[in-house]
Amino acid sequence: MTALLAAEHVVVRFGTHRAVDGVDLALHAGETLGLVGESGSGKTTMLRLFLRLVDASEGRVLFAGTDITHGRDAALRALRRQVQVVFQNPHAALDPRMSVFAAVAEPLRLLGGRSRAALRDHVAALLGDVGLGTEFMARYPHELSGGQKQRVCIARALAPQPRALLLDEPTSALDVSVQAQIIELLAALRVRHGLAYLFVSHNLAVVRLLCERAAVMQNGRIVEQGAAAQVLAEPRHPYTRALLDSVLRVAQA
């Protein structure tokens, strides 16, 4: 089966630093892949590579079997539509001068071909999909809580009906009670829309909950990958074991 997104022997250099150092990684349609590791391990660079926001210094990046390593404009149009991203900090990801309606409608406008009324209905449906009522349309980011902002970011990402969401620490800026709501939402959306997730996170417990597969990065390399249940419960690599041992458990009865 052709992978939706694939990196083959990819190296990304920033100056002399190899942020990604010979990585092979594939995201298949409909699957959830967690990419974990500490700060500076290269996990966000991998996500940006799949979005073509950074360029590979060596190796190839494939989208649905097509080489997009050096593709420009038209060659990337399908990627831009079918692969969407949700960033870590919802407070910074929304334009403070755009209403919720404008933010969610923007990608739909760029795709074109909708009447004003149809656009409104579509935005309402997208907001409903992420658990926000139509009363939110006229609001601005500063009137929303962190969780509500992240819901708007997810609605915006869903607008072009993507096949995959690349999620860069989508719950890390949120409180636990809100994080739990967003996890529930992401789990439900995935089933509802048959989405693939590339879930970048340093939170192993969240990855364990949401992902079927997990890959562990350290110093730009993938040191272990496999079924999340195996990697995050019976790790083989000493680094994965060290990461797991460092997680502070809240002992509950």
Partner 1 sequence: MSLLEVRGYRLAFDGYEGTAQVLNGIDLSVEEGEAVGIVGETGCGKSVLARSLLRLNPEPPARIVSGSIRFAGEDVLTMRGAALRKLRGTGIGMVFQDPATYLNPVFTIGRQLEDVLRAHGHRRGIADRSVALLESVQLRDAGALLRRYPHELSGGMRQRVLIAQALAGNPRLLVADEPTTALDVTVQRQVLALIADLVTRLRLTLLLISHDLGVIGALCRRVVVMYAGTIIEDAPTAALLSTPRHPYTRGLLAAVPDLDRPDRLPRGIPGSIPSLRDPPSGCRFHPRCPLAMPVCASQAPRLDGDGGGGPAGDRRGDQAGCSGGEPHRVACYAA
Q: Which of 22, 91, 183, 212 touches partner 1 by CB under 8 A?
A: 183
CB of 225 to partner 1, least distance (A): 18
CB of 234 to partner 1, least distance (A): 12
CB of 189 to partner 1, least distance (A): 14
Return the DSSP state at 73. H
233 dihedral zone (left: phi>0; alpha: psi -120 to 50; beta) = alpha
What is the C-alpha to C-alpha distance for residues 9 and 190, in angstroms, rounded to an integer? Answer: 29
Do residues 38 and 49 lie in contact, with contact meaning Cβ atoms separated by under 8 Å? no
Q: Is the dihedral of CA 224, 250, 187, 151 positive or negative?
A: negative
CB atoms < 10 A from the CB of 228, how many?
Answer: 23
In this structure, are strands 213-218 and 32-36 parallel, antiparallel, or unpaired?
parallel
Residues in 25-84 at the binding interface with partner 1, rule: CB under 8 A = 38-39
- By rule CB under 8 A, what string of x and - marks binding of each residue 218-237 to partner 1? -----------x--x-----
Question: Is 217 a binder of partner 1 (CB under 8 A)?
Answer: no
Neighbouring residues of 78: CB distance < 8 A, sequence distance ≥ 6: 63, 64
Q: Which of 60, 80, 193, 202 touches partner 1 by CB under 8 A?
A: 202
Question: Is 124 a binder of partner 1 (CB under 8 A)?
Answer: no
Closer to partner 1 by Cβ: residue 105 or 204:
204
49: exposed, middle or buried (C-beta count within 10 Å: 0-12, 13-18, 19+)?
A: buried
Q: Provide the CB-side half-sphere exposure for 23 (13 A, CA).
A: 34
Q: Which of 24, 205, 227, 238 touches partner 1 by CB under 8 A?
A: 205
Closer to partner 1 by Cβ: residue 109 or 192:
192
Q: Which of 208, 226, 230, 237 touches partner 1 by CB under 8 A?
A: 208
Question: Is 204 a binder of partner 1 (CB under 8 A)?
Answer: yes
Indicate the residue type of 118: A
**Site residues for partner 1 per CB under 8 A:** 38-39, 145-148, 175-181, 183-184, 187, 202-206, 208-209, 229, 232, 242-244, 246-253
